[in-house]
Chain A
Amino acid sequence: MTGDRTDVLPSIGDQHASTTVIPAVPAVPAIPAAPSGPPVPTTASLEAERVSAWFGQRKVLDRVSLEMPAGRVTALIGPSGCGKSTFLRILNRMHELVPSAALAGEVRLDGQDIYAPERRLTDARKAIGMVFQKPNPFPAMSIQDNVLAGLRLTGTKIGKGEREGLVEESLVRAGLWLEVKDRLKQPGSALSGGQQQRLCIARSLAVRPRVLLMDEPCSALDPTSTRVVEETIQQIAADVTIVIVTHNMQQAHRVSHQCAFFLAAHGTPGVIVEHGPTDTIFDNPQDQRTSDYVNGRFG
């Protein structure tokens, strides 16, 4: 792994990586039965190892390590500016879109570093989907085309019959099917905010990611839509690993299995103060700062 520009720190996971041979991306979607070869894993663990991040000269994350187990929902909580969104964007290589951004450390998808020089950037993003704070369906495309956009963008060809199946399956999983099944040809921008966000979830699910990152997915939504999206999260959690950034403590409590509390003390880069099962973080935190934050005493 020499020559990997992100490999500033000694890598630890090599022996692990060499034994786990899993295709970078599940050869997209032999719907439900893959006739040959081993069954394609639908979910994968994600592991951040001593991740640091900079914007220009300013360091915003300092050696953050976190394990996000397969098929679980991990919530990243913490006050604004603590680096949790930056951390999330590092997990699928969106961080490097910012011109001055830099990072160190490793992010391992089922044991393999997504920043390894031999891995393709687009493969990492295909395997690790992302849902953004503000719903961002492609406005010029119909609902159906929005769902299929990922396949088109990644050059994945599927048959016509399969396509309909995939659209339905993705929309069902995102909890939107019943509301839109009669108007799949209408533009995605005609939906309400909450529906748009679920359309974005369906769009992400259609490329069969193994991990889904969500960056405050409900902060632009009303409470009813928020509840529907949360139900969606709980339903898809079984087959997609989910990492969610949220400012809403109750939401973190409701949807996540484990929590990581980020904090950046004044003028210092963000770190994880505490992480563990959600119940422990909320009911019995070890650190005073965590307790103060989850009980609403600051932030």
Chain B
Amino acid sequence: MADVRPRKLSRRSTGADAVFEHGARAVGASVLVITGGVGVFLAWQAYPTLKRYGLSFFTESQWAPDQDVIGIAAVLTGTVSVALVAMTFAFPLSVLVALYISEYAPARIRSTLVSLVDLMAAVPSIVYGLWGFFLIMPYAAELALWLQRNFGWLPFFKVENTDPDAAVWDTSRYVASAFCAGIAVAMMVMPMACAVMRQVFSQTPQGEKEAALALGATRWGMVTSVVLPFGRGGVIGGTMLGLGRALGETIAVVLIVSPAFEIKPRILEVGTSTVSSLIAGRFGEASTSQLSALLAAGFVLFVITLIVNTLAAVVVNRSRSGAGTDA
């Protein structure tokens, strides 16, 4: 038996090809460098704070640097509740909009709808903040009252120090809440989640859709049996991508909520705080040590969103429909 080894093949690119290859590689690597750099910088800056306060940084809800009491328990729960409210609104909205665009909309209005939704993503978040503050909050407060009246027995729909059946209700207890902020954030998250879902839905193999229709399925039957199972990865991935954005959303939350440092599941009640709104609110007046504390909070948020987005990417890539989504 002769000794046969695989031959070495040279694949060295030359000329313009080589320039492009190395250039593209360098630019691609810079993405890693930047993301890694942000993480390292935050970790570096956060280290003194985390060392000083230890675990109590995560369990303390007050943020009072003057009294040397600092913790992110309240802002972290506030962040999560705003994000969850946002997703509660954004999820059904984005699934339905994506389904309508990809399966139901007549061809001539489809492209208009797509660009309108993309335009929603391009609206600056301060605009959504103002919109939420002036246009949504009054109605959100009424919706909150209704929710409290009918579902007040659920702990997160409670509003303390109020009487839902009072003749004149105390509006101020129902505004500036996580609920109101969540609605505004939902508007920012929706187009992003919707874009991912729409893209995945529109990749559903035509053959499978026709197979369902040819069996006598209604369009809705076809959607539930073919499009949604195919697009499941996109639905989950888009949702988590939206969640990642919702967790970090700042300016709309700053405009809408009135700051409160209290761990509370009562999303309808006035006052909450999120990590990013805390940083935005305290950044200007912070001393060096306070700055480190704020950056520590930012570091925690960074890690959480990184995890959420990584999970989203994994889900989208592992699902059958993931191929071709650039999520």
Contacts and interface: CB of A to CB of B under 8 A. Distances in A.
A94 B209 CA distance: 11
Given A94-B210, A136-B208, A139-B320, A150 B225 contact: no
Given A92-B214, A136-B208, A138-B211, 10 more contacts: A99-B107, A125-B214, A130-B210, A137-B211, A139-B320, A153-B221, A153-B222, A154-B215, A154-B216, A200-B211
A99 B214 contact: no
A206 to B, nearest CB: 9
B214 A149 contact: no
A139 B210 CA distance: 14
A22 interface: no
Contact of B215 (A97, A99, A140, A203): A203
A136 B210 contact: yes
A99 B214 CA distance: 17
A134 interface: yes
Contact of B216 (A125, A137, A200): A125
A149 B225 contact: yes
A240 B218 CA distance: 24
Nearest to B217: A153
A143 B215 CA distance: 16
Interface residues of A, number: 27
A162 B225 CA distance: 22
17 contacts: A94-B213, A97-B210, A132-B211, A136-B205, A136-B210, A138-B212, A138-B225, A149-B215, A149-B225, A153-B215, A153-B216, A153-B218, A153-B221, A154-B215, A154-B216, A204-B214, A207-B215
Contacts of A137: 211
B161 to A, nearest CB: 51
Contacts of B15: none
A209 B39 CA distance: 62
Interface string A137-153: 11110000000011011
A129 B216 CA distance: 8
Contact of A134 (B207, B213, B218, B229): B207
A286 interface: no
Given A99-B107, A132-B211, A134-B207, A150 B320 contact: no
A139 B208 CA distance: 9
Contacts of B222: 153
Given A97-B210, A129-B214, A129-B215, A138 B107 contact: no
A150 B230 CA distance: 18
A275 interface: no
Contact of A132 (B106, B210, B218, B320): B210
A136 B208 CA distance: 6
A85 B213 CA distance: 17
Interface in B127-168: none
Contacts of B225: 138, 149, 152-153
B217 A136 contact: no
Nearest to A136: B207
Interface string B192-223: 00000000000001011011111111100110
Contacts of A99: 106-107
Interface residues of B, number: 21
Given A138-B225, A138-B226, A139-B320, A150 B207 contact: no
A97 B216 contact: no
B215 A126 contact: yes
A122 interface: yes
Nearest to A203: B215
Contacts of B226: 138
A123 B216 CA distance: 6
A133 to B, nearest CB: 9
Give me the 10 closest cross-chain CB pairs, A-B, nearest first: A126-B216, A153-B217, A136-B207, A150-B215, A130-B214, A136-B211, A125-B216, A154-B216, A153-B221, A122-B216
A128 to B, nearest CB: 9
A132 B218 CA distance: 19
Nearest to B218: A122
A296 to B, nearest CB: 30
Residue from A138, A203, A207 with most neighbouring chain B CB atoms (10 Å) = A138
Interface string B309-327: 0000000000010000000
A203 B207 CA distance: 14
Interface string B225-250: 11001100000000000000000000
Interface string A146-190: 000110111100000000000000000000000000000000000
Nearest to A138: B208
Contacts of B216: 122-123, 125-126, 150, 153-154, 207
B217 A122 contact: yes
Interface in A191-208: 200, 203-204, 207
B215 A204 contact: yes
A153 B222 CA distance: 8
B206 to A, nearest CB: 9
